[in-house]
Amino acid sequence: MEILIIVLIALLLLLAIGDIRRALITRPVFAFFQRVLPPLSPTEREAMQAGDTWWDAELFQGRPNWQAFLQTNAPHFTPEEQDFIDNQLETLLAMLDDFEIVQEDCDLPEAVWAYLRKEKFFAMIIGREFGGLDFSPAANSHIVSRIATRSISAAVTVMVPNSLGLGELLTHYGTTEQKDYWLPRLASGEDIPCFALTGPEAGSDAGSIPDTGIICRGEHDGKEVVGIRLNWDKRYITLAPVATVLGLAFKLYDPDGLLGDNKELGITCALIPTNHPGVETGARHLPLNQAFMNGTTYGKDVFVPLDWIIGGPDYAGKGWQMLMECLSAGRGISLPALAAATGHLTERMTGAYAYVRRQFGLPIGKFEGVQAAMGKIGGTNYILESMRRLTVTALMAGKSPSVITAMTKYHMTEMGRQVMDAA
């Protein structure tokens, strides 16, 4: 027994020496996993390399500078944003009746649609030079969250054009001609966008989308041009039933070498008016019986010119990179805002009901079982709102932290579900 103890102590001492531990354990373990794990696909590699880091880099290195973290400036609004929140946002909230929207009309009232266009709720991320509001991530998150406390359907309608979609992609990658034509129309609400990535068999795994585009020659506006012949079938596309312009993700191929030697260019994003011949939208979905517009789009042998690629022909095959580079900001704003709003509304309604509902001569909020659930709701809401604000703080610093936004999206949506379950 003593010999065994001595041997174990000797092994522990040896493993405490970094060079020995790495030689005996770390390198063999890494080599084993390199052999058994499949290689990363290009789309997986781009997803992992997208975005950057913020204070999370210090945290995961194991040496966080807490003093620097505590000195981080809290999110704030500009005077223009505060005025919008105090006026246009409050007016919109007063117009929303979620029972009417969801149970009676299955749509937003026409007056609400008109007000959203007029006050540029669809243009919060579009620059002022194009007629947009150019609001900060803090204002965007706050506005979406407030709307969601009144109507999830209205919040999603506002959220999608201000998240990862045509406005974001055109702002970062669009050609001068694309920006000058489309961004003012999107800002004014003259055009309503949707972005079609998800299909019947592929969603987050964009590398497996079956939708294709073939580089070929065809006729456009009476002239023969080099373009793309598209075939796609998409579903669960928010705003598709009412969209006037479609952002489309597809795999691009060049079998005849019209653009060069590369035959498989990869995922590409194009911008297509929905009134273009062959474009079909419709077959509306009702996700969770909510009333925001969501549906299908499909097309067969639809020919479009090359300059309808977002960013022009130079961005052929760069669609996945574009989406990943823009994903962090939208992922850190939209769904966290909805999750926080779910928590706020649940706490407000559950707390009010626990106060007015009486059993055995007491409000049910006085009973221990109800109090336990209310405590969970309140504590979780504190975490939800803290996570929302902290993530926005990173975005306000000009960062696009892929790890923080991914964790925020995952954990906040799950905690929102837990709050509803407790309620």
SS (H, E, C) 276-302: CCCCEEECCCCHHHCCCCEEEEEEEEE
CATH code, domain carrying 241 = 2.40.110.10
Which of 172, 193, 214 terminates a domain? The answer is 193
For the chain, percent of residues with pLDDT exceeding 90: 69
Do 241 and 306 belong together in one domain?
A: yes
Residue 182: CATH number of its domain: 1.10.540.10
Domain boundary among 173, 193, 213: 193
Output 312 or 46, whichever has higher pLDDT: 312
Instruction: Specify the pLDDT at position 329.
Output: 65
Shared domain for 147 and 241, answered yes or no, is no
The reply to whether 292 and 389 lie within a common domain is: no
What is the predicted pLDDT for the residue at 401?
A: 86
With respect to residue 40, please indicate whether it lies within any of the assigned structural domains: no
How far apart (Å, rounded) are the C-alpha atoms in residues 352 and 134?
37
Whether residue 235 is found in the same domain as residue 183: no
Q: For residue 349, what pLDDT is reported?
A: 94
Tokens of 347: 């706490």
- Asked whether residue 334 is domain-assigned, the answer is yes
The CA distance from 407 to 267, in Å, is 26
Output the pLDDT for position 165.
84
Do 357 and 341 belong to one domain? yes
What's the pTM value of the predicted model, to 2 decimals?
0.88
Residue pointed to by tokens 């079998």: 255
Q: Indicate whether 174 and 210 sit together in one domain.
A: no
The CATH number of residue 351's host domain is 1.20.140.10
Q: In this structure, are 184 and 218 located in the same domain? A: no
Look at residue 8 in the predicted model and tell me its pLDDT.
81
- How distant, in Å, are the alpha carbons of 79, 346, 369 from that of 356? 39, 16, 16
Structural domain count, the chain: 3
Residue 187 pLDDT more than 70? yes
Decide: 60 and 114 in contact? Cβ < 8 Å: no
Buried b (16+ CB within 10 A) or exposed e, 73-92: eebebeeebeebbeebbeeb
The Cα 158–Cα 143 span in angstroms is 9
Kindly tell me if the per-residue pLDDT of 252 is higher than 90: yes
Residue 37 within a domain:
no
* Structure-block tokens of residue 102: 């969801």
| Domain-located, residue 199 | no
Average pLDDT over residues 169-195: 96
Q: What does the chain come to in residues? A: 423
Query: Considering only 28-42, 64-78, 170-184, which range has the smallest mean pLDDT?
Result: 28-42
Distance of CA 156 to the CA centre of its chain: 11
Please say which residue of 316, 337, 370 terminates a domain.
316
User: Is residue 259, in this structure, part of any structural domain at all?
Assistant: yes
Domain match, 222 and 161 both: no
pLDDT digits (tens, 9 = 90+) for 330-357: 788 999 999 999 999 999 999 999 999 9
Q: Domain range spanning residue 230?
A: 205-316
Does residue 43 carry a pLDDT above 70? Answer: no
Same domain, 310 and 399: no
Task: Average the pLDDT over each of 214-228, 324-338, 363-377 and give the range with the smallest value.
Answer: 324-338
Residue 52 belongs to some domain of the structure: no
Task: Say if 2 falls within a structural domain.
Answer: no
What's the pLDDT tens digit per position in 302-320? 999 999 999 999 999 999 8
What is the rounded distance in angstroms from the CA atom of residue 118 to the CA atom of residue 189? 7
Q: Mean pLDDT, to the nearest integer, of 212-220?
A: 93
Q: Give the span between the Cα atoms of 402 and 48, in whole angstroms.
A: 8
**pLDDT score of 15:** 73
pLDDT higher for 245 or 75? 245
Dihedral angle, C-alpha 181, 183, 189, 191, nearest 10 ° = 50
Residues 362 and 294 in one domain: no
Task: Say if CB 309 and CB 159 are below 8 A apart.
Answer: no
Of 4-18, 62-76, 176-190, the range with the highest mean pLDDT is: 176-190
- Output the CA torsion sign for 20, 22, 26, 32: negative
Residues 373-404 have pLDDT tens digits of 999 999 999 999 999 999 999 999 888 888 89
Choice among 119-123, 148-152, 205-209, 239-243 with the minimum mean pLDDT? 205-209
Contact in structure between 145 and 338 (CB atoms under 8 Å) = yes
Residue 38 lies in a domain: no
Please check the confidence at residue 176 and state whether its pLDDT lies above 70: yes
Judge if 124 and 217 occupy the same domain: no
Q: Is 284 exposed, middle or buried (0-12, 13-18, 19+ CB in 10 A)?
A: middle
**Are 310 and 328 members of one domain?**
no
Distances (CA, A) of 225 to 105, 215, 303, 304, 315: 45, 11, 10, 9, 18
